[in-house]
Structure 1
Amino acid sequence: MSEKLNLVHWADMTADRIIRQHGDKDDYVVASGITPSGVVHFGNFREVITTDLVARGLRARGKNVRFIFSWDDYDTFRKIPGNLPKQDELAQYLFQPIVDTPDPFGEHESYAAHHEHNFEEQLKKVGVEVEPIYQAKKYRAGDYKEQIKLALNKRFEIRDILNQYRKEPYGDDYYPVSVYCEKYKTDKTTILSWDGESKLRYKHNEHDYEGEIDINTTSLVKLPWRVDWPMRWAFEKVDFEPGGKDHSSQGGSFTTAKDIVKVFDWQAPIYLQYDFVSIKGLGGKMSSSKGNLVTVNDILKVYEPEMVRWIFASYKTNVDFAISFDLDVLKTYEDYDRQERLAFGLEKGNEKKVAMAKRVIELSQIGEHPTECPFQPSFRHLCNVLQINDGDIEAARSYYADQIKTDRDERRFRERSACALHWLQENAPEEFKFAINKEAVDMPLEDKVRTYLDKLVALCEEQWDTIESDKEFNDKMYEVMHELELKPADIFAPIYQKLISREKGPKLAGFIRTIGKDRVIKLLK
């Protein structure tokens, strides 16, 4: 890949910036993370894919990259998402660590593990490989005890950084930790004192209980998010991590983290703000606690895995966009296929467009990059072929058999067919759906229209095998129409009625050729 090509995409520009600002090293650490407070939704995925694309940019420069993914499962279980079963049982674990909350589905060892496992499996499907770090294990193993003591001893320094952005400043009673009570398990506690070495005294806010714990031996102390995040940058030596709009605003957690990280003797990673992603037709921002969620799996029901990557690689991170489930799905597939053709030299474009197409398609690959453009069945046409064949993928495949030449072509056909079927069943507008009639429909017709249909049947019987294109068939249909002094409006509706019992449908000439000679003759006679 040439240097010029390398610098057309934001992921490569960011990789260059990391090397320039953090020094030219052999190894880099990129990071991402999520709290498994509920189902991990498609909005969260933007952070992960952003990190993955930058990791690929670094690897393209010959660098070793460690992509760590932090599961903040030692965070507090604050709210029960409305879409979960066993609400009463879950309510008993409010304000305790998420990792200690049971899985309401009974599939995994905890509520956290259920959501972690599901999201990790989804990431594999879109070619994102991460090194998961489970923060509850780190805290409970005592990995951060020295960092916790350091934060407590520098608490006024941390407090002063935070107070620059607070309307109500913290006072001398500020401590940069929270404690899960030994007796009552929740984090509804207040710190009373710190002895400067290892002992921390606290009280429970709702019960008459005070306790003392030793940082060297306890697993009940956690740093709050604004301190925890920069601490982990230092602990893992992170070079790059993106963040959402909510973390990026002035006074947000990145603003304070880039100062607090100096307390832990490290520097802020190169940062990239990403904007939110929405689903067209779904109001408002997705939220785990609200339960109005679309997951990566949901998107994969409509878009091929490479296309999911491509959608994100196609937008700069600071642009918000919507994923469509409506008729725009057709355009998205057409745009993807066009860019793929540009990348493989099957379509011409200016130098900059071609360079961008090559890099975006390369960043979208899962597994080995194909040496030639994979088979591209038009999504719109595939929907028609599948409906003509009553949703039978094997029957539809016979229509494309001579175009499917490699394993990659086969995978493309299978994935795209499954997406098309799902979209037709769940998302396509009613006017897009049809079923071929099983028997001929008897209906009153004007004489001229009846004559036209007879001539069209004769045309099919006599010339079907010699007609080479939809355009040629269309021209012949129009010749007969002009000969009988008819207009398209006179004949199209009756033909659609006879074929699919609808007033309109797919482009007629191609549609008739796709249905096949025998069925068309049977239905039009």
Structure 2
Amino acid sequence: MSSSPLSGLEERARAARSWPFEQARNLLTHLAKSRVPDPREAHEAIALLNAGDIDGAWNRFPALNRPVVFETGYGPSGLPHMGTFGEVARTTMVRNAFRALTGDRWATRLITVSDDMDGLRKVPDGVPNPEMLAEDLGKPLTVVRDPFGTHDSFGAHNNARLRAFLDSFGFDYEFLSATEAYRSGRFDATLLTLLERFDQIQDIMLPTLGPDRRATYSPFLPISPSTGRVLQVPTLERNVSKGTIVFEDEDGTRVETPVTGGRVKLQWKPDWAMRWTALGVDYEMSGKDLIDSVKVSSRVCRALGGTPPEGFNFEMFLDEAGQKISKSKGNGLTMEEWLRYGAPESLSWYMFQSPKSAKKLHFDVIPRATDDYLQFLAAYPTQEPDKQIDNAVWHIHGGAPPETTSPATFGLLLNLVGVANAADKAALWAYFGKYLPGATAETEPLLDRLMGYALNYYEDFVRPTKVFRTPTDKEKVALLDLAERLRALPADTTDGELIQTEVYAVGKAHEFEPLRAWFGALYEVLLGQSQGPRFGSFAAIYGLEPTIRLIEDGAAGRLVGT
């Protein structure tokens, strides 16, 4: 059916099974159904799009050929956090998959909206000048004074932090301030439609509310002309022809105000629906906790004459005890904390994996996430193209992963830091200078970054938990045998596989059953932990002679208490 042959990338994208491509294909069907109103014609459009005939679909149905809009939202009452990163990262993955699926011929936009017209509900913890914020409670965040003294408002301050945050990860997005959109008139047409269909919106919203809230609820939140606060008050009168509502101000006076020009904002569920309609949003994902909210906002969107976007609900993160992460409880892992101990790529890998499954978000997931990322990156060049496109690193790096990976795992670096008692990168590079002659921070930038993360992680989490033990008689004999076998190797050996062969041979010669009990002994006696890196690789980097001394110290019990 296609009018022109598909590119290799498009062919692979059509067959790809990873979740961003599933979402991209769902979006393609959504576009046909939402932009081609006749069901029979929509079915024809879907057939053309599924066959890869984008040009044919556009020629047959010109309404299809306008940019595809992705959206994410941000509440600027606090700093950007893990959820902010996850939502933008995952949406970007779907956007990149859509580009591949359509041969990058379909224009796309990612709009990140800051809900900065919301009223400040409480004074956040840990900010300067809290008394100033307390005086501004209830006012739009873009009116609340900036306690840091760096921007025109608290909202502007946090918006700047958001943009710097997203820019640091290289995201391609358009920033939209809700305040600017309301005040500029960008939302006016949809706000007037909502005023006209006020009763329909109320019929949708009121059944979702408790009796007390239902009695005073209005989708419109007027800005008080006397105090500047965002008011949750009933709408007393509506004048559709004038585009106004009447409400009672805080001083008891009745005020008539336009619903346009930023003089009112909307309650959040109608606001969400209004944005979808006004901006023509085609795709937005959200957390599982917002499933009911998506349903309600979708009904409001339809009442406004819009089409709810395609999307899916991702699972929430859990803390170490399996409890839902809560910003107010502070029981999660912050962005700053992850980026102190792990590379941004490892965080993107964690966000990519199983977004519909609840995952623990705690410090102990960082080493595994880092090494899993490195494993996928190392595998990428050896895979067939149809496998590469489903590899997580294809999505993490927008289809262009780095050509090289780190020569050492994060787990190995952690052990090298401990055994070498390294205090800085220079100490670690001294070992790698022998293992990888000519290697420097410039030639191995990923390894250099990982060293910094490993130093931080070891000091804060590994060192306090190390417990060395003395070997059993059987283990002691095996350790001394291993030392002798390694001493028989050439002193300048850096062949990790050769060393690993000797380690295996000792374990078998001394009849460790299962063999993993031998490796467990190596880790517990020599490294003070229950698990460790591939021992041959570790010894190759640490050096043969220092490894032999370490083994002899462990066999003699001299590491206990260190």
Q: Normalised by the size of structure 2, how large is the TM-score?
A: 0.74
Q: 1:128 to 1:164 in 2, by over 3 A?
A: same
CA contact (8 A) 1:243 1:273 kept: yes
The equivalent of 1:295 in structure 2 is: 334
CA contact (8 A) 1:374 1:409 kept: no
Q: 1:111 to 1:212 in 2, by over 3 A?
A: same
- The C-alpha deviation readout for 1:388-415, integer Å capped at 9, x for no partner, is 1613213323433538879996221122
Per-residue deviation at 1:44? 3.5
Q: What letter matches 1:192 in structure 2? A: L
The equivalent of 1:412 in structure 2 is: 446
CA contact (8 A) 1:29 1:67 kept: yes
CA contact (8 A) 1:494 1:503 kept: yes
The equivalent of 2:11 in structure 1 is: 3
SS in 1 for 2:69: strand
The equivalent of 2:5 in structure 1 is: none
Name which of 54, 62, 67 aligns with 2:94.
Answer: 54
The equivalent of 2:249 in structure 1 is: 204
Name which of 81, 93, 107 aligns with 1:41.
Answer: 81
- The C-alpha deviation readout for 1:121-140, integer Å capped at 9, x for no partner, is 23233342221100011122
Per-residue deviation at 1:86? 3.0
CA contact (8 A) 2:347 2:369 kept: no
The equivalent of 1:364 in structure 2 is: 396
- Does 1:396 find its partner at 2:428? yes
The equivalent of 2:414 in structure 1 is: 383
- Does 1:99 find its partner at 2:142? yes
Name which of 323, 337, 344 aligns with 2:374.
Answer: 337
Task: Measure the CA separation in 1 of the matches of 2:84 and 2:156.
Answer: 17
The equivalent of 2:239 in structure 1 is: 195
CA contact (8 A) 1:102 1:110 kept: yes
Per-residue deviation at 1:423? 1.2
SS in 2 for 1:260: helix
- The C-alpha deviation readout for 1:420-463, integer Å capped at 9, x for no partner, is 112112233624499xxxxxxxxxxx9xx99x989969975995
Q: What letter matches 1:361 in structure 2? A: V
State the identity %. Answer: 22
Task: Measure the CA separation in 1 of the matches of 2:185 and 2:524.
Answer: 77
Q: What letter matches 1:427 in structure 2? A: F
Q: Structure 1: any 5+ residue segments left out of the alignment?
A: 435-445, 483-487
- Does 1:145 find its partner at 2:172? no
Task: Measure the CA separation in 1 of the matches of 2:27 and 2:522.
Answer: 61
Per-residue deviation at 1:74? 0.1
CA contact (8 A) 2:111 2:173 kept: yes
* Higher mean C-alpha deviation, range 420-429 or range 160-169: 160-169
Name which of 491, 494, 518 aligns with 1:464.
Answer: 491
Task: Measure the CA separation in 2 of the matches of 1:506 and 1:77.
Answer: 49
The equivalent of 1:177 in structure 2 is: 220
Q: 1:503 to 1:166 in 2, by over 3 A?
A: closer
Q: 1:493 to 1:101 in 2, by over 3 A?
A: closer
Q: What letter matches 2:427 in structure 1? A: A
CA contact (8 A) 1:51 1:241 kept: yes
- Paired residues, what number? 489
The equivalent of 1:304 in structure 2 is: 343
Q: What letter matches 1:333 in structure 2? A: T
CA contact (8 A) 1:5 1:355 kept: no
Q: Structure 2: any 5+ residue segments left out of the alignment?
A: 1-8, 33-63, 512-517, 554-562
Q: What letter matches 2:245 in structure 1? A: L
Q: What letter matches 2:194 in structure 1? A: A
The equivalent of 2:357 in structure 1 is: 319
* Higher mean C-alpha deviation, range 228-237 or range 273-282: 273-282
Task: Measure the CA separation in 1 of the matches of 2:523 and 2:115.
Answer: 60
Q: 1:344 to 1:515 in 2, by over 3 A?
A: closer
Question: 5 Å matches for 1:253-264?
Answer: 254-264=294-304
CA contact (8 A) 2:23 2:311 kept: no
Q: What letter matches 2:295 in structure 1? A: T
Task: Measure the CA separation in 2 of the matches of 1:141 and 1:305.
Answer: 36
- The C-alpha deviation readout for 1:270-327, integer Å capped at 9, x for no partner, is 121111123436854222x455553333222222222221222221x3222123412x
Task: Measure the CA separation in 2 of the matches of 1:243 and 1:50.
Answer: 10
Q: What letter matches 1:89 in structure 2? A: M
Q: Normalised by the size of structure 1, how large is the TM-score?
A: 0.79
- The C-alpha deviation readout for 1:235-268, integer Å capped at 9, x for no partner, is 111111112223213xx2x212222223332211
SS in 2 for 1:344: helix
The equivalent of 1:13 in structure 2 is: 22
Task: Measure the CA separation in 2 of the matches of 1:242 and 1:134.
Answer: 19
